[in-house]
Structure 1
Amino acid sequence: MTMTVIPYLIGTPGTPWGAAEKAAWLARQVRQRSYADEVVRAIDGLRADFDVVEYGRLDYGDEHFPLLAIRNRDWDDALPVALVTGGVHGYETSGVHGALRFVALHAREFAGRANLLVAPCISPWAYERIHRWNPDAIDPNRSFRDGSPAQESAALMRLVALVRDRVLLHIDLHETTDTDETEFRPALAARDGKPFQPDGVPDGFYLVDDSEHPQPAFQQAVIEAVAKVTHIAPADAQGRIIGSDVVAPGVIEYPLRKLGLCAGVTDARYKTTTEVYPDSPRATQEQCNAAQAAAVCAALEYALAHR
């Protein structure tokens, strides 16, 4: 699908942003929804059956956001750990609500089989602004590395450090949207002083495997489960999805750790990043949330069966 791209309004073409441009960008960001009402309240509703951990706190001016993770009761150090993350990019709504849906509807199915650690909304400021970056114009999903410049990424890394060596599975829940092409990619190019190269937006669900440690059978198991809920993105005319070669139906690969991506924060044998397309005329928001939850369930079932 080819999108119409409007030139970005901030900065001088070819010149990376400085403090003034970042301030101008920040001034345009408007709070559009409530993390407290839509996410924290949903997490509070799970406290009767799950432990909730505040693993950090974001303080941006006069705004304060608790960072919350959900764990199963009766944590057993003899069991493998499954890490589920969402909302690294706050605008990717089904990443957040798909993770919450998994906990509410499916997590109990894995009692006694795995320890579950779910961080459903890593970037609450961006969730409220429906944006990709944090207030410092930093993409948290390129910042999962030592000395991270993103508070959101650093906080999750501190949480995961406690169990990193025992994580069997990490599934990171994302979306690809029309605004990737009309807002976020143009903003990225402008911020970095680079030309914007338009691309298409894949219509459907796809996965990103780790090119350094691929697990094709695992990825295929997730794709097969999600195909029962929503459609899988086809390759474009060049055999690619978002510029990367399709290695199997609905699957591309990135070097996760090298790029500082969330799915690379552990040495888990099984790692994947999900991508749904909520702007498709063939999918609803409910389908997108259900697809994310189905992906988590399928990933867990496969990982536990192939330990």
Structure 2
Amino acid sequence: MSQKHIYKIGTEGKPWGDEEKATWLAQQSNQRSYFDDVVNKLEGLKDTFDVEQYGSLDYQQFDAKTYPLYAVKTRNWDHNKPTILVTGGVHGYETSGVHGALRFLETKAKGYAEKFNIVVAPCVSPWGYETINRWNPLAVDPNRSFVKNSPAPEAAALMSLMESVPTEILVHVDLHETTDTDNSEFRPAKAARDGTVNTNWNIPDGFYLVGDSDKPAPEFQLAVLDSVAKVTHIAEADEHGKLIGETVAQEGAINYAVAKLGLCMGLTKAKYVTTTEVYPDSANATPEECIQAQVASVVGALEFVLDRAR
């Protein structure tokens, strides 16, 4: 099913200018606290991991805050161990991505530290987290901004961090959600901003993955899906064999042109990359199950690497 959805700001067919962006920004407000929900939890990890501030977002000009950006790393870095990157909150509104990254650090990361170097950026877009937004205050989507001269400071800061990591990344798991608001708010807003026509897609009920069409790694994707299936249900394709408008590559997985789209999972040259997509609005999943599904996806990726090494 697809349907046209006209957004409340702007003129259909005409891209936003500064006035429309200012109107949009004025409608945003804080609905939760990055400092309470994320930064405070990082304090509790400092006895076990290195917690590093890798950047800062000064959004005071938008009547917002200055947000410190943090990454968590395992200690005793070893060039002989594979390195895994986990990112959450690239789209700040996708709650289980942020809390799944934190939960992985709290419950699983220490157990894998002997075998892996681990880097976790749990909340790449703190303003988006607080205001429950896909974009930053500039009306820019960080997850389409992992490109040279990035227009999103969130993406630019993370790219700079990864340039400082002394080993190559083997695995990157980027934790996301697909929500009902993708259709009711964020896709219509994007079309209005860009002066294009939006047609909504069906929101899949369940968990699915997005791989890189240039290196789809089906066995890796399957290992992640098998791990998640122990926690929550995997999304089924629609009547056209698609998920969010894309042809299914394998059950529960689609592929995107990562480099072309400037997606976070194209941030490194990692051999194995995937973006998780949890459906938090499902009647068949609780918020806790969504967080556990994100943790299970990272565990599945780690176990895949260990199995390949045996």
TM-score by length of 2: 0.96
Query: Which residue of the partner structure matches residue 284 of structure 1?
Result: 286
Query: Which residue of the partner structure matches residue 254 of structure 2?
Result: 252
Of residues 83, 86, 91, the one that matches 2:85 is: 83
Query: Which residue of the partner structure matches residue 266 of structure 1?
Result: 268
**Aligned equivalents of 1:36, 1:291: Cα separation in 2:** 24
TM-score by length of 1: 0.97
**Aligned equivalents of 1:148, 1:111: Cα separation in 2:** 32
Aligned residue for 2:282, secondary structure, equals coil
Query: Which residue of the partner structure matches residue 236 of structure 2?
Result: 234
Moved more, 20-29 or 72-81: 72-81
**Aligned equivalents of 2:18, 2:209: Cα separation in 1:** 36
Aligned residue for 1:258, secondary structure, equals helix
Written as runs of structure 1 = structure 2, the 5 A alignment for 1:165-204 is 166-204=168-206
Distance 1:56 1:230, change over 3 A: same
Does the CA contact (< 8 Å) of 2:212 and 2:257 recur in 1? yes
Aligned residue for 2:67, secondary structure, equals strand
Moved more, 7-16 or 73-82: 73-82
Written as runs of structure 1 = structure 2, the 5 A alignment for 1:1-307 is 7-61=6-60, 63-163=65-165, 166-306=168-308
Cα deviation, 1:132-179, whole Å, max 9, x if unaligned, reads: 000000000000011000000000000011237610100000000000
1:3 Cα deviation (Å)?
A: 8.7
Does the CA contact (< 8 Å) of 1:165 and 1:267 recur in 2? no
Question: Where does the alignment leave 5 or more consecutive residues of structure 1 unmatched?
Answer: none
Aligned residue for 1:22, secondary structure, equals helix
- Aligned AA for 2:35? A
Aligned residue for 1:128, secondary structure, equals helix
Cα deviation, 1:75-113, whole Å, max 9, x if unaligned, reads: 222222100000000000000000000010001111221
Question: Where does the alignment leave 5 or more consecutive residues of structure 2 unmatched?
Answer: none
- RMSD (Å), alpha carbons: 1.4
1:196 Cα deviation (Å)?
A: 1.2
- Aligned AA for 1:37? D
Does the CA contact (< 8 Å) of 1:30 and 1:129 recur in 2? yes
1:302 Cα deviation (Å)?
A: 0.6
Q: How many residues align?
A: 306
**Aligned equivalents of 1:296, 1:154: Cα separation in 2:** 24
- Aligned AA for 1:44? E
